[in-house]
């Protein structure tokens, strides 16, 4: 059965790049297969564009920018809201596409479509509120102020773990600000990005405003980073690639936003009910099969409740179901590819060789070669890979701690600084730990923390800038200061 036959609207499945409002073949004949990670079957192929075709996308975005920025904010808002409506109307097909190319269970994919669409609606409205300011003048007979203007063309490079929402969180902000965008999705999950392009076109978003380019990642990124006409680069992905892109953007002095890796601590205080905290930790660890920048990678539990916590965690983990995300009642789909499974196994082996205890996790039960059964390790210590590296796999590591000062030191013992969780009801402990954590986002007694109204982002090697919230659109705006002099006598100046 072909992929398009699984969709009620087969035109959402596109195997071309999308440049200047046209579905585009690669001119050099290079292409890449895209696989269903659950079955290993090829879902389709995407073309790799040649260098001059990437430059053509920049030409198109440059031309479109002239008209798009000149629209009133409420006109851009209407187009973006039409796009939002279409995302909602095609939610089921978009979720199916996502599960097929990414592997996450269908209910999670539906959740991501909803989440991704919510950024389009949020920024459609925020675009109408990009206010400048008036400045009390220190210059005689002058009026001073600022206006906000779009930076220009934005290049958006995105990962495979959230194939739709990581694009809309950037693109909607940029487009609402008046920028045009060139999206380079991950090669593993291009079809969600191309479905977004199809729906953008139907929403009346003009040619050249939303482009999707495909190709060899390093080659495409190099061109976009070196292009002086591209004024902003927004990247979500690994810290390794983020560093590389930051360097590549230095020559053209671009605006750079980076949403990079995480290594979230999950701190459980001595006052917590161990069962409640363990169930929350399981939810925070195993979403998207652990392939989540917010995954609870280091679970730090007060020694007084450690053993009970481990028992409840193991019990809850044992109830998780692993399988093809298209089937019902599945909690964890496959990992994205075989290398991810090998990396997960290496992280587990490393921990065990250094003294960790394997409580649960029998890989002989895995339902296919890209699947990894959830693993629980205790006695995890600082010298193990699982402590420092983002496992991006369903491997949970638990460590006992003695007091608040020790757990703060343990939690901050990482190059990453994206998100952290605290579970305790002691308000003084919450305040002390929350303030001391070197992380961009801290969630207290809640697994869910993201959404359009919040400033999402990290500190340290987890990135630069914030997405979402009232400041997310600023990543795509310049502040222009004006001084209107020689006005004669200006009252109040």
Catalytic residues: 259, 293
At closest approach, how far in Å is the CB of 465 from ligand NAD?
A: 10
At closest approach, how far in Å is the CB of 251 from ligand NAD?
A: 16
The two structure tokens encoding residue 398: 């638990």
Nearer to ligand NAD, 230 or 241 (CB): 241
Nearest to 412 by CA among 462, 359, 356: 462
The helix (run of H) or strand (run of E) holding residue 336 is none
Nearest to 200 by CA among 225, 231, 164, 224: 164
For residue 10, CA distances in Å to 17, 82, 84, 101, 191 come to 17, 20, 19, 15, 12
DSSP string spanning 92-111?
A: HHHHHHHHHHH---HHHHHH
Which residue has the CB atom at the shortest distance from ligand NAD?
A: 237
What is the rounded CA–CA span in Å between residue 43 and residue 63? Answer: 34
Helix, strand, or coil (residue 465): coil
Nearer to ligand NAD, 231 or 461 (CB): 461
Nearer to ligand NAD, 150 or 463 (CB): 463
Residues binding ligand NAD (CB under 6 A): 157-162, 166, 184, 186-187, 217-218, 221, 236-238, 241, 244, 259-262, 293, 390, 418, 458, 463
At closest approach, how far in Å is the CB of 239 from ligand NAD?
A: 6
At closest approach, how far in Å is the CB of 288 from ligand NAD?
A: 9
Nearest to 452 by CA among 436, 440, 468: 468
At closest approach, how far in Å is the CB of 468 from ligand NAD?
A: 10
At closest approach, how far in Å is the CB of 365 from ligand NAD?
A: 26
Nearer to ligand NAD, 186 or 199 (CB): 186
Paired sense of beta strands 477-484 and 143-150, if any? antiparallel
Nearer to ligand NAD, 130 or 248 (CB): 248
The two structure tokens encoding residue 428: 């003084």
The two structure tokens encoding residue 300: 């730090």
The H-assigned helical ranges of 14-71 are 51-70
DSSP string spanning 396-415?
A: EEEEEESSHHHHHHHHH-SS
Rounded to 5 degrees, what angle do the CA atoms 231, 236, 242 make? 75
At closest approach, how far in Å is the CB of 249 from ligand NAD?
A: 11
Helix, strand, or coil (residue 315): helix
Question: How many residues are present in the chain?
Answer: 493
Helix, strand, or coil (residue 49): coil
């Amino acid at each position: 059965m072909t992929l398009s036959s699984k969709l009620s609207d087969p035109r959402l499945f596109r195997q071309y790049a999308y440049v200047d409002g046209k579905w585009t073949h690669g001119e050099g004949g290079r292409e890449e297969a895209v696989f269903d990670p659950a079955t290993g079957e090829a879902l389709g192929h995407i073309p790799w564009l040649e260098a001059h075709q990437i430059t053509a996308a920049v030409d198109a975005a440059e031309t479109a920018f002239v008209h798009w920025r000149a629209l009133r904010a409420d006109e851009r808002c209407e187009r973006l809201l039409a796009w939002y409506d279409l995302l909602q109307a095609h939610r089921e097909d978009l979720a199916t596409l996502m599960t097929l190319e990414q592997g996450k269970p269908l209910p999670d994919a539906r959740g991501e479509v909803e989440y991704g669409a919510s950024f389009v609606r949020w920024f459609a409205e925020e675009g109408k509120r990009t206010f400048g300011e008036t400045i009390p003048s220190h210059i005689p007979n002058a009026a001073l102020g600022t206006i906000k203007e779009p930076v220009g063309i934005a290049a958006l490079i995105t990962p495979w773990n959230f194939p739709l929402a990581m694009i809309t969180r950037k693109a909607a902000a940029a487009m609402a600000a008046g920028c045009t965008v060139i999206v380079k999705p991950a090669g593993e999950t291009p079809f969600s990005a191309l479905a977004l392009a199809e729906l953008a076109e139907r929403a009346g978003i003009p040619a050249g405003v939303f482009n999707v380019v495909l190709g060899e990642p390093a080659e495409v990124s190099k061109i976009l980073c070196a292009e002086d006409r591209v004024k902003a680069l927004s990247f979500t992905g690994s810290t390794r690639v983020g560093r590389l892109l930051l360097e590549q953007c230095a020559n053209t002095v671009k605006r750079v936003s980076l949403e990079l890796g995480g290594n979230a601590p999950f701190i459980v205080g001595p006052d917590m009910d161990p069962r409640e905290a363990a169930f929350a930790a399981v939810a925070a660890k195993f979403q998207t099969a652990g392939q989540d920048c917010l995954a609870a990678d280091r679970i730090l539990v007060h020694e007084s409740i450690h053993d009970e916590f481990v028992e409840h965690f193991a019990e809850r983990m044992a109830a998780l179901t692993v399988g093809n995300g298209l089937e019902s009642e599945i909690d964890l789909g496959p990992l994205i590819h075989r290398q991810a499974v090998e990396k997960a196994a290496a992280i587990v082996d490393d921990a065990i060789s250094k003294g960790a205890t394997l409580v649960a996790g029998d890989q002989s039960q895995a339902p296919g070669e890209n699947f990894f059964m959830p693993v629980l390790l205790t006695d995890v210590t600082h010298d193990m890979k699982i402590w420092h590296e983002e496992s991006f796999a369903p491997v949970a590591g638990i460590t006992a701690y003695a007091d608040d000062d020790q757990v703060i030191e343990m939690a901050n013992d990482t190059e990453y600084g994206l998100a952290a969780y605290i579970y305790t009801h002691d308000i003084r402990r919450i305040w002390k730990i929350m303030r001391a954590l070197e992380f961009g986002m801290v969630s207290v007694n809640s697994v869910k923390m993201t959404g359009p109204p919040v400033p999402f982002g990290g500190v340290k090697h987890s990135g630069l800038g914030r997405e979402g919230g009232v400041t997310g659109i600023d990543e795509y705006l310049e502040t222009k200061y004006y001084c209107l002099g020689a006005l004669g006598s200006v009252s109040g100046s």
